[in-house]
A and B are shown apart, each in its own frame.
Chain A
Amino acid sequence: MSVAPILEACRAEGRAALIGYLPVGFPSVEGSIEAMKVLVDNGVDIVEIGVPYSDPVMDGPVIQDAAVRALEAGVHLGDIFSAARAVSEAGAGALVMTYWNPVLRYGVDRFAADLAAAGGAGLITPDLIPDEAHDWTAAADANDLDKVFLVAPSSTPERLTKVTAACRGFVYATAVMGVTGARASVGEAAADLVSRTRAATDLPVCVGVGVSTGDQAAEVGRYADGVIVGSALVRCLTEAPTPQEGLAALGALARELADGVRRGRA
C-alpha cells in the first residue's frame, strides 16, 4: 500500500510527515523490529526499513557500522519482509531502503511480489536511477508499490523532470551533497532543492540526509512534505550501553522529532 495517503493526511493536519530510518537486523532481527515499533509508537509516520549491505556508498560511518554489525549478526534479506509486516501492522507506512544488488540477486519480480504481500509500501533506491530501473518500474507497477528515487542539490532541471516523473509516493531530496549522517546545519541547499523539485512535480517532496534534532525537523518541516531522519536514530541504538537504554533513547528522540514537525508550521 502506497505511503501517499499517509502524506496526504499529514498535509491535511498542516504538518510534514516524519520518516524514520532503521536497518533491519541490528542489534538482532527481533530487536530491530521492536525498535521500529518504538518509532511508530512515538510519532513516526513512515518507517524506512534499511537493508544492510556490504558496500553502502551513500552511507556515512553510523549507518555503515550498524550494517556491518547486522550482517555479522546474521541478518538475511528475507528478514525485510517480517519487518515490513510488523511496521505495517503497527499502523505506519513501511518503505524499504535498499541498494540494488540484493534485490537483483533475490529477483526483482519476486522481491516486489513478496514485499507487497508483506504489506510493504515500496522501495527507496539510493543507487538505482530511473534510467536503469526498467525492471523495477515494471515490477512496482504490477504490484502497486511506491518507487522513491532521489534528487540532489547537483540535479539539473532536466534530471529533476526525469527523476520525479519516475517516482511514485514521494520524491526523496538529499539535503546536502554527501553521505548520510547528522549535520550541524541542514543548510539552504535543501530549501532550494525542494523549491526546484516542486517546479517539476506535484508529488510530495521529503528531505533527508543530515537532520538529527527537533529544531532541524521543525525547520525542514516548514517547506518539505516529509522529514527523513536516519543516522541520529541509528546512533541511539549503536551507542547505547544496553538494548533497553537504546530503545528509551530512540523513543525520546522520535518524540522530539515528532514534536518538531508539529510545531514547524505552527
Chain B
Amino acid sequence: MTTTSNVPAYGRFGGFGGRYVPEALIPALEQLEEVWRKAVVDPEFVGELERLQRTYTGRPSIITEVPRFAENCGGARVILKREDLNHTGSHKINNVLGQALLTKRMGKTRVIAETGAGQHGVATATAAALLGLECVVYMGRKDTERQALNVARMRLLGATVVPVDNGSKTLKDAVNEAFRDWVANVATTHYVLGTVTGPHPFPEMVRDFHRVIGVEARQQVLDLVGRLPDAVLACVGGGSNAIGIFHRFIDDRSVRLIGFEAGGEGVASGKHAARFSAGMPGVLHGAFTYVMQDVDGQTVESHSVSAGLDYPSVGPEHAHLLESGRAEYRPVTDEEAMEAFSLLSRTEGILPAIESAHALAGAMKVGRELGPDAVLLVNLSGRGDKDVHTAAAWFGLIDDEGGTVLPATTATTGGDSRSGSSDSSDNSDNSDNSDNSAGAKGMGVQQ
C-alpha cells in the first residue's frame, strides 16, 4: 500500500520518531499497529475506506490552476490541490476516517482527539457521528475562543468539547490532556491523533492515510501540464497535509519539497512556531523530533495567527526530510500569510484557511525565485470559513465587539458601496504594493 523505504529502523525516520510514552500505553500502541498493518492489506478495509473517500469525503479532490493569483508569484504557474473541498473542509478527514474504521476493528467504542484550529476536531466528530462512536475533543481554551464556530460545529455533531486551561491553553496542552484521558481509558478508547507526530505508529499511519493527496495530485499535474511540478509547497504545523502531498514525490528527485512554518511575528521576535528555524531535536508528545525548548528542555510556547500551526513541535518524518536534505522548511510571518489570504480571496474567489495561506505566501516567494517557467503545486489544505472572524478582525472589518465596520463613504456615494474598494483592473498591482505596516491592513475599506 505504501513504501516504507525511508524508515530505516523500527518506528524511526532516520534518527527521529520512536515511542516516548508511559508504559501503560504500549499495549494499545502495539494493538493499533497490529490492527492497522492487517487492515491495510485487507480488501474489505481498503474497499470500505475507498468507498467512504469517494462517496463521503468527495475524493478525488480536484486541482485548480490559479492564474490571477499566480501574477503575484513571479508569473510561475500555480496549481492548488483542493483539500479544502473535502467534506468538513480540510484534509483532516482522510486520516480520521481511516482511524475511525480502525477503532471499530479494535472493538473500541469511544474516540478522543486534540484540536487546534478545530478542523481535526470537526473531522473526528464527523467520523464519530457517521460510525456511532462516542467522541470527546480536547481544545486549548485560547483556541476555543478564536475558533468558536468550530466548537459549535463539533457540539452540533454530537461531540463533547473540553476546553483545556493548562499551560499555553493551545494545541500542545490539548495533546497533553488527550494523552491523560487515553492512559485512563485506553481499554475502551482510541486516541485519534490528528497529525504525523506522536508515538509510533502514529506518524507513519497518519501519513499513509494522507498519502492519497500526493498520489492524486501527482497524476493530476501530469495530466494538466505534461510534467512534474518544480516544487510542491505546503504549510507545516504538525505536518500532516505536508507529508500527505510530499510523500508520493519523495523519489522524484527533481521536485523540490518546501514546507512553510508559522513565522508568527518574525523568528527574531520569539513569537512564532518556526521549529526548524529556532528549535532543536528533543522529545515531545511521544516522538523524538524538532522541539522549541529552552536550555532546560522545557517546551517553549509557540505563537501564530493560525491556531492549526501554533504548535512547538513537528512530525518526526519532517525532521528527517530536513536533515537528509530532501525537503526544505521556511518561516512565513502572520503578516505575509494574511496578505496571501487576502490575495487568493480577491483574485480567485477562494477563501483559504489561514494555515494554508502560509503555503500560498510561500508560493509568492518561491515563484518569484524560480520565475515564469516554474510549475508550483500548492496544497490548499483547508477552507477559510472557520477563519472569517479572525480575518475580519485582522483586516478591520469588524470592531472589538464583533460589529461591522463600514466605509465612512457608504451612505453618500449613491449606493455603490464598493466604489472605494479595489477592482479587478488594479487588483494585482494593488496587492503587490499593499502596505503591510498599516494597522487596519486595508482590505477594501480604505479610499
Contact = CB atoms under 8 A, between A and B. Distances in A.
A244 B368 CA distance: 66
Contacts of B285: 55, 57
A143 to B, nearest CB: 20
A103 B297 contact: yes
Contacts of A154: 24-28, 186-187
B24 A129 contact: no
Interface string A109-129: 000000000000000001111
Given A55-B299, A177-B184, A129 B283 contact: no
Contacts of B141: none
A149 B167 CA distance: 27
Nearest to B21: A127
Interface residues of B, number: 35
Contact of A53 (B22, B183, B184, B298): B298
A31 interface: no
Contacts of B295: 105
Nearest to B18: A132
A58 B22 contact: yes
A105 B296 contact: yes
Contact of A129 (B23, B167, B284): B23
Interface stretch (B123-131, B172-180, B242-250): B172-180
Contacts of B184: 177-179
B167 A156 contact: no
B299 A77 contact: no
Given A179-B183, A179-B184, A54 B24 contact: no
B183 A151 contact: no
B24 A104 contact: no
B167 A101 contact: no
Interface string A147-187: 00111111110010001000000000010011100000000
A131 interface: yes
B394 interface: no
Contact of B24 (A53, A106, A132, A152): A152
Chain A at the B interface: mostly helix, strand, loop or mixed?
Answer: loop
B306 to A, nearest CB: 21
B67 interface: no
Contact of B284 (A71, A101, A128, A177): A101
Contacts of A153: 24
Contacts of B18: 132
Contacts of A156: 27
Nearest to B179: A57
B23 A149 contact: yes
B23 A177 contact: no
A243 interface: no
Contacts of A132: 18-20
Interface in B158-183: 166-167, 172-173, 176, 179-180, 183
Contacts of A127: 20-22, 283, 286
Interface string B347-361: 000000000000000
Most A-side CB within 10 Å, residue of B23, B173, B286, B299: B23
Nearest to A155: B23
A129 B297 contact: no
Contacts of B27: 154-156, 159
A154 B296 CA distance: 32
A152 B20 contact: no
B99 interface: no
A212 interface: no
Interface of A: 53-58, 60, 64, 68, 71, 76-77, 100-106, 126-129, 131-132, 149-156, 159, 163, 174, 177-179
Interface of B: 18-28, 166-167, 172-173, 176, 179-180, 183-187, 282-286, 291, 293, 295-299
Top 5 closest A-B pairs, CB basis? A105-B297, A152-B24, A102-B297, A178-B184, A57-B179
